[in-house]
């Protein structure tokens, strides 16, 4: 099935010309070309999805293909060879990759979003990573799992950081830390320190039932390592609209608040997963004939009313989820381009939509999987893996409906919202 990811016509799509779907960088390939390349990869990604899950990581070969096609350049600054697209273009690309393999899309998304995140750090930090290797990519562990100790010129850190997706393919890591209070009136702060691969080890502890191929293992630093001051950024700076990296590259995309941007990279893979599930389910309906335990065998799967209804519901869920995320992300990009601050109320609404779009996509995959019968349980049947992956994504703390919706309700009721926004 080669239908476009969005079922609505691109000429009627009000978000087709979102700022993030265009690049002003001379020589940058068009987004359509990049997406065509991703579509051409789909058979390869589908064929390798089971092996990716078995190996519990995205392969070096696949990562190199992404590099060769320039996927990791999408949000990278032009001075390092990047294309400076935005988050709507990013979403299109990752959803297309997710149509072939959810875990691979997740790894690609995190590698790509961290190109944007590094671009918010001081230029000296960007030079450390990209001057010698413009193709270098980063992993990250966001929870402040250790305390940084201030020393002259920087910080000392050690500890363990979990859930560093795509760590096997990364040359650097962004590690969440608590920063020390340097003055009595200082407020507690947390953020990231940027650490090269030679300073940390990988603990192979990623054994899970869904998203197994993301390689979200732990990073361990046993003996204290020194991190220079310029490789630091606080969460407050990331949410300010004026991060340090904006000084040397004033492109508005790098002014977008952290939590108005990063969750998009977590939603996009599951949108692609739902489209991939629709593809797979449609193929099954075209070819499968029921066996029947005692009677009723020999009927085409596509002739059953519940099968027809589940397919319709899945496509509606995909359109609804995609429209929500397109609307919100387009607005964020337009506001950034115009220099308009994104209000707390809009940021919280967008966080609601990140979680609700994920919920819609997960329910769409659930519905399809429920209709395939016993044949869908085979480990070489892609739909069961998509079902497990979709349910794993929906439990991520940034997308979990119970966690995010309670924060939204608190805001709507005039309470102090407790959560990520």
How many C-beta atoms surround the C-beta of residue 415 within 10 A?
A: 10
Q: What is the DSSP string of 44-57?
A: HHHHHHHHHHHHTS
Between the alpha carbon of residue 179 and those of residues 9, 147, 243, 252, 293, the distances in Å are 49, 6, 17, 28, 64
Across 80-153, where does the E strand assignment appear? Answer: 138-147, 149-151
Looking at the DSSP bridge assignments, the partners of residue 200 are none
Local structure of 121: helix, strand or coil: coil
CB 65 within 8 A of CB 111: no
- Within 8 A by CB and 6+ apart from 189, the residues are 178, 179, 234, 235, 236
Q: What is the pLDDT of residues 182-193, one digit of tens each?
A: 888 888 899 999
- CA–CA distance, 22 with 408 (Å, rounded to integer): 32
Write phi, then psi, for 77 (nearest 5 degrees).
-60, 150
Do the domains 19-133 and 258-291+298-412 sit in the same CATH topology, yes or no? no
Q: By CB neighbour count within 10 A (0-12 exposed, 13-18 middle, 19+ buried), where does 197 fall?
A: middle
Q: What are the tens digits of pLDDT across the range 328-366?
A: 999 999 999 999 999 999 999 999 999 999 999 999 999
CATH class of 258-291+298-412: mainly alpha
pLDDT digits (tens, 9 = 90+) for 79-105: 999 999 999 999 999 999 999 999 999
Tens of pLDDT, residue by residue over 190-244, are 999 999 999 999 999 999 999 999 999 999 999 999 999 999 999 999 999 999 9
Q: Which fold has domain 19-133?
A: Butyryl-Coa Dehydrogenase, subunit A; domain 1 (1.10.540)
What's residue 162's pLDDT?
A: 97
Say if residue 296 is exposed, middle or buried (CB neighbours under 10 Å; 0-12, 13-18, 19+).
exposed
Q: Can you name the residues that pair with 159 across neighbouring β-strands? A: 221
Extents of the domains making up the chain: 19-133, 138-238, 258-291+298-412
Residues 185, 321: Cα–Cα separation, whole Å: 44
Rounded CA-CA distance 263/382 in Å is 25
pTM above 0.75, yes or no: yes
- Quick check: 211 and 87 in contact, CB under 8 A? no
Superfamily the domain 138-238 falls into: Butyryl-CoA Dehydrogenase, subunit A, domain 2 (2.40.110.10)
């Amino acid at each position: 099935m080669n239908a476009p990811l969005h079922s609505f016509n691109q000429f009627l799509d009000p978000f087709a010309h979102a700022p993030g779907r265009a690049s002003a960088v001379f020589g940058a390939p068009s987004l359509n070309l990049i997406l065509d390349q991703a579509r051409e990869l789909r058979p390869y990604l589908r064929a390798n999805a089971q092996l990716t899950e078995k190996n519990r990581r995205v392969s070096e070969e696949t990562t190199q293909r992404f590099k060769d096609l320039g996927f990791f350049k999408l949000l990278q600054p032009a001075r390092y060879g990047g294309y400076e697209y935005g988050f709507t273009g990013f979403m299109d690309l990752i959803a297309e990759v997710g149509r072939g393999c959810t875990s691979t899309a997740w790894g690609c998304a995190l590698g790509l979003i961290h190109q944007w995140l590094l671009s918010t750090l001081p230029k000296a930090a960007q030079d450390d990573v990209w001057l010698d290797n413009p193709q270098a990519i980063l992993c990250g562990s966001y929870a402040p799992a250790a305390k940084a100790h201030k020393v002259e010129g920087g910080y000392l850190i050690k500890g363990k950081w979990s859930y560093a997706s795509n760590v096997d393919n990364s040359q650097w890591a962004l590690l969440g830390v608590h920063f020390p209070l340097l003055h009595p009136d200082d407020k507690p702060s947390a953020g990231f320190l940027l650490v090269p691969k030679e300073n940390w080890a990988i603990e192979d502890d990623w054994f899970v039932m869904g998203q197994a191929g993301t390689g979200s293992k732990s990073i361990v630093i046993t003996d204290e390592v020194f991190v220079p001051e310029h490789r630091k950024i606080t969460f407050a700076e990331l949410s300010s609209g004026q991060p340090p990296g904006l000084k040397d590259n004033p492109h508005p995309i790098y002014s977008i608040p952290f939590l108005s941007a990063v969750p998009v990279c977590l939603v996009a893979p599951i949108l692609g997963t739902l489209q991939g599930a629709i593809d797979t389910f449609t193929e099954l309906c075209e070819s499968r004939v029921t066996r029947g335990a005692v009677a009723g065998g020999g009927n085409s799967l596509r002739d059953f009313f519940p099968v027809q209804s589940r397919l319709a519901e899945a496509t509606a869920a995909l359109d609804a989820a995609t429209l929500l995320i397109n609307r919100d992300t387009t607005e964020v990009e337009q506001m950034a381009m115009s220099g308009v601050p994104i209000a707390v109320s809009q940021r919280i609404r967008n966080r609601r939509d990140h979680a609700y779009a994920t919920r819609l996509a997960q329910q769409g995959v659930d519905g399809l999987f429920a209709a395939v019968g016993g044949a869908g349980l085979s480990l070489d049947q892609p739909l069961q893996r998509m079902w497990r992956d979709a349910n794993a994504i929906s439990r991520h703390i940034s997308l979990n409906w119970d966690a995010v919706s309670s924060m939204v309700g608190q805001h709507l009721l005039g309470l102090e919202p407790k959560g990520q926004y």
